[in-house]
A and B are shown apart, each in its own frame.
Chain A
Amino acid sequence: MSSKSLHVLFDDDDILLDAVKQIVKSKIYINEIYTPFPVHGLDKAMKLKPTNISIATFIYGCIGFTVAVMMMNYIMIVDWPQNIGGKPSFTLIENIPSFVPIIFEMTVFFAAHLMVITFYLKSKLWPFKNAENPHPSTTDDKFLIDMETGTNVAKTKTMLKKLGAISIDVINNDEDEK
């Protein structure tokens, strides 16, 4: 692995998207792209593998469903049956319609919250973490590609200039570590 990498700055998401497609085509590895907003189609262009978070969310929803049913069964049937408006309170199945809103809400609650927490863990985000983005403008209006240099740095640079990069910095990773 080369110890050098390039930080390439763009100022337009469409130009960025086209550039990424070209870079991938010329077989130069892209470490990461920092953008101020989600750019649609960027994951496809980078050839990232599709996320599995929807499957995880489905499983979290199922967990929430089960927890809600067990919770309502314990609270309203087993532990302390209450007579509310003369409604049956002796078996879960007789009383299920009044539990449906709770079951629904718990399913959504579990799915949504656990999904967000999973997303944070997967993206290595937690409170008090220092920002990783190498250029502050990527939180404003610039797009940055952190990529390998390729075999010929000068050639890569000319290609990137042609693709519409507004600035290219060569980063020496070994120096950073010292």
Chain B
Amino acid sequence: MYKDYKFSNQIKVLSISLTLIGLLGILYGFYAAPSTVEEAKEIVASMSHDSDYGGSGYGESDHGDSEYGYESSGYEYDHDKHVFNQLHNKPWAAIYVPALFFMMISLGVLAFYAIQRASQAGWSIVLYRIMEGITGYLFLGCLFVLIILGFSAFKFNHLFIWMDPEVVSHDEIIRNKIGYLNIPFFFIRSIIYIAGWVIYREITRRLSLQQDENNDISVHKKLFKFSAGFLVFFLVSESMMSWDWIMSIDPHWFSTLFGWYVFAGMFVSGITTIALITIYLKSKNYLEFVNNSHIHDLAKFMFGVSIFWAYLWFSQFMLIWYSNIPEEVTYFITRIEDYNFLFFGMVVLNLIFPLIVLMNSDFKKTNFIVILTGIVIIIGHYIDVYNMIMPSAVGDMWSFGPAEIGGFMFFLGIFLYVVFRAISKAPILAKGDPFIEESKTFQYYNLD
């Protein structure tokens, strides 16, 4: 009937070479990271003369006064050791950011998929197999994140300072949170989230394929029930995941809408990825049943959720800026002083650009413009995740070096390989869905 996707050599070669080049970058990053405090001192000395080093420049910024509570609470503060920890963290943070980013793309798509199933949406059924392909990366992506967290727990790095008992013993704020922030409970929680997401993904994938064989309505009902239940679980687990995997990197700071903020970011990057892959496959003459109304709808989502993301970004920023409470506002002070260009540049990429470009209805159905905006949104949200992790992990020692770029390429390569392989594993159209005809003939009345 319809031409099923065959895993093309083009993608295979591209993804494998991205992974290998990325791996080299990561290895170089680890090789260049200091292993002793003395080496860190040397690196810092050579950096302060280097003009293209990002941030405000070492030595000018007087960071560390209130950034880490343990410094002022009787713990003997050693600046060189602090800088050593930051530089030592750098390659780890450089792989943690893209690992998290691509895992969250997959998770965002899973949430989008569950919403389509639970709302029994008509228009999106032709895209189900693409969404299932993208969520195929979820298990591997979560595994990568979990492994990096495991390295943190076994003291290979200093990303999560609350995992270090020495720091905790000198820090009253973290000590008060120890009932929640302790290593065994942290990993039990993490495994519960991952298990919940992956089990839902596998069940719906199996049911969806089973639906292709027989048009049994009970399968449709089961998919609906699982999706509605999953959304309840996801709402809680995603919020907790964002506290655990992202917010706890800054254990003194908290924001009550952080879960929503992270969700908005993953949701828009997930939808953008669906749009990008759909347009790519369409350009390769697959997906002949996808018309520009489907693309138009995806672009509407990209537009809307970009604004939603900006709304949450600004709500979080303005409340903290206005109240000006020291332990809260340090979060934004580090970002504005040391990451100024990235912090505000990201808002241009994630809000202003999609807002202006995708406002026009004609642009939303034009593949070229959707691709262009999509790439901008993906880069913008990568920088968003970078901004969540890096300031707490490496302070003002950030840069876009081989480790950061390599890390991004490494996970992009694996992501592409897994996703396209998963798409090629199943028929390209979920033809058993009871609403499939509605989806195939979907036409937004205002489009030609």
Answer yes or no: A41 CB below 8 A from chain B CBs. Answer: yes
Q: State whether A100 and B318 are in contact (beta carbons under 8 Å apart), knowing that A85-B323, A86-B324 are contacts in the complex.
A: yes
Question: What size tier do the contact residues of chain A reach?
Answer: 10 to 19
Query: Is B254 in the interface zone, CB < 8 Å from A?
Result: no
Indicate if B75 sits at the interface (CB-CB under 8 A). Answer: no
A3 at interface by CB-CB < 8 Å? no
Given known A97-B317, A100-B314, contact A87–B322 (CB-CB < 8 A):
yes
Shortest CB–CB separation between residue A44 and chain B, in angstroms?
Answer: 8
Task: For A40, give the chain B residue with the smallest CB separation.
Answer: B445
A41, A97, A98: residue with the most chain B Cβ atoms closer than 10 Å = A97
> How would residues 91 to 118 of chain B score, 1 for a CB under 8 Å from any chain A CB and 0 otherwise?
0000000000000000000000000000
In the bound complex, CA of A44 to CA of B359 (Å): 22
Instruction: Give per-residue flags for A83-99: 1 if the beta carbon is below 8 A from chain B beta carbons, else 0.
Output: 00111000000000110
What chain B residues lie within 8 Å of A98 (beta carbons)? 318, 322
Supposing A97-B317, A100-B314 touch, asked if A85 and B322 sit within 8 A by C-beta, the answer is yes
Contact at B445–A97, with CB atoms within 8 Å? no
Contact partners of B31 in chain A: CB under 8 A? none
State the total of A-B contacts with C-beta under 8 angstroms: 20
* Chain A: minimal CB distance from B296 (Å): 15
B321 within 8 A of A: yes
Given A40-B445, A41-B445, the answer on whether A97 and B324 have CB atoms closer than 8 Å is no
How far, in whole Å, are A40 and B447 apart by their CA atoms in the complex?
A: 11
| CB <8 Å contact, A97 and B321 | yes
Which B residues are in CB contact (< 8 Å) with A100?
314, 318
Distance A101 CA – B359 CA, assembled complex (angstroms): 21
Instruction: Please name all residues of chain B whose beta carbon is closer than 8 Å to the beta carbon of A44 when the two chains form the complex.
Output: 445
CB neighbours (8 Å) of B317 from chain A are 97
Contacts of A97 on B, CB cut-off 8 Å?
Answer: 314, 317-318, 321-322
Taken residue by residue from 426 to 448, chain B's Cβ proximity to chain A (1 for < 8 Å, 0 otherwise) reads as 00000000000000000001000
Q: Smallest CB–CB gap between A76 and chain B, Å? A: 14
Given contacts A40-B445, A41-B445, contact A85 B324 (CB under 8 A): yes
Q: Please indicate the chain A residues that have their CB under 8 angstroms from the CB of B314 in the complex.
A: 97, 100
Q: Bound state CA distance, A98 and B324, in angstroms? A: 13
> Which chain B residues border A41 with CB–CB below 8 Å?
445
- Tell me how far the C-beta of B320 lies from the nearest C-beta in chain A, rounded to whole angstroms: 10
Nearest-Cβ distance from residue A52 to partner chain B, whole angstroms? 13
Query: How far is B315's CA from A101's CA once the two chains are assembled, in angstroms?
Result: 9
CA distance in complex: A44, B318 (Å)? 45
Interface members, chain B 322-336 (any A CB < 8 Å)? 322-324
What are the residues of chain B within 8 A of A40 when measuring CB–CB?
A: 445
Q: Mark A32-45, 1 if CB is under 8 A from B, else 0.
A: 00000000110010
A97-B329 Cα distance, complex, nearest whole Å: 14
Per-residue 0/1 for B291-324: is the Cβ within 8 Å of any A Cβ (1 yes, 0 no)? 0000000000000000000000010011001111
Chain B proximity mask over A139-173: 1 for CB below 8 Å, otherwise 0: 00000000000000000000000000000000000
12 A-B pairs with C-beta separation under 8 A: A44-B445, A58-B359, A85-B322, A85-B323, A85-B324, A87-B324, A97-B317, A97-B318, A97-B321, A98-B318, A100-B314, A100-B318
Task: Point out residues on B near A: beta carbons under 8 Å.
Answer: 314, 317-318, 321-324, 359, 445
Ranked 10 nearest A-B pairs via Cβ = A40-B445, A41-B445, A97-B318, A97-B321, A98-B322, A100-B314, A85-B322, A87-B322, A100-B318, A85-B324
